[in-house]
Structure 1
């Protein structure tokens, strides 16, 4: 080990080595990133500006939008730089910094989605006690819990990784720093890192999935017992946007990590990574804007107010 060179930077092989395709991908991801920032920023501003949206559901949605902005910003800017760069490198420190913020924001998104599922459960299954169950103090505590658990998860995975030694090769077959390929490149023992990664994946991923599954089983069971078709539709519409986002995120993630090895490929892995790490943060505000009448109504009120002022 003493005679081997310590790696100071990694090479991100990215998505393609074709210069023309790289330029095309640069503009595609630039548009996606711009839409992600603008869409989620609009959601944040609308929720803050319109008093009709000062409810638990939209309080949680604002934190989901903020987590999406952080998640996308941890990955896409470096990807855009490397698509135009001759040498697609990232320093070891920058790589671990990206890893930390990716895990932090990605984990928080999962926790917030789980909290939003509980909110919908309380609203539909216990409507008479909803105001008491989801008061401001409880909402703040749930959000604080989500960010705290996400920070702990990020630290649990990042701090042990900082102790790893890298002596070559230093090529990561991906467009961002993810923990599994980093562990594969390490010259050190990675058993503890692997255990920490698998444990956090089970606790965060499966744990939150189970909470959301139980919540929606109760929600669907309650909706089916409603006699009025109009009331059933109204109850389901309050959680349809959230359910769409959850299915989109988990379907992609589950297929990515549980697919048979016989259909595994680098291209397929990158496509699914792009889906849940770059495309999903862009789609979330679009889904909530298009499928949610209250958000569209709030946008209309803000536009009319601006027109009157002008």
Structure 2
């Protein structure tokens, strides 16, 4: 990358303010998580994004301006190996980053484009979480510190009555063995590009993963926006799950009822609308 490719210049006050605002924003999420971790406590909702995804808290907190931005009077050592000095400060070496991670970036971009080009479906009603506990014993439950809202037989009956319509491989792979044949699809990693659709809660939660995977080509504010969406989706995901998390301040969305399914569908559509905007921003930030 040459200095001529930089399309924006931030003076010291501007980029330091953006960095400060980003750190302050994410600290609201990081501080309670890190405090729980020090105490050895687990939170089935709030900790998920830090345990399931590989992006560490310190990486989420670290600010990057994105491609094509020059930071005046900045030190390359302060921003890492992906940055190089300019006559006035530093800028991201975009060409070097893209060359080093070309295969990964192309895979992510094609998945985002394929998902964006597919119609959204809203008929799953969160049954993927129910399929993850289907016919399990209390000891086998992933979050067995928390009770199920229904007894095991009624929980299984809901899955059998409603059926499962999950298109997301990384949700499907956590289904219990007896639940997998109940799913309408058999998603695999190889069919991920053909299956993911923009109404899926987990596909939209994964925008956070794809954002940090292409960082620092995208600004950290976009990564944080995707994290915030994923955090909100995770809350709905667990409220609609078979677990009773009311004691954590998460009243259930009772998807085993018609009223609960209607509530879920409205929220799911709202998340899909937010995800559409973020997916477009990611595609625009990482051009082909």
Give your verdict on TM over 0.5: no
Greater helix fraction, Structure 1 or Structure 2 = 1
TM category (shorter chain) comes to 0.3 to 0.5
User: Structure 1 length normalisation: TM-score?
Assistant: 0.33
User: Structure 2 length normalisation: TM-score?
Assistant: 0.35
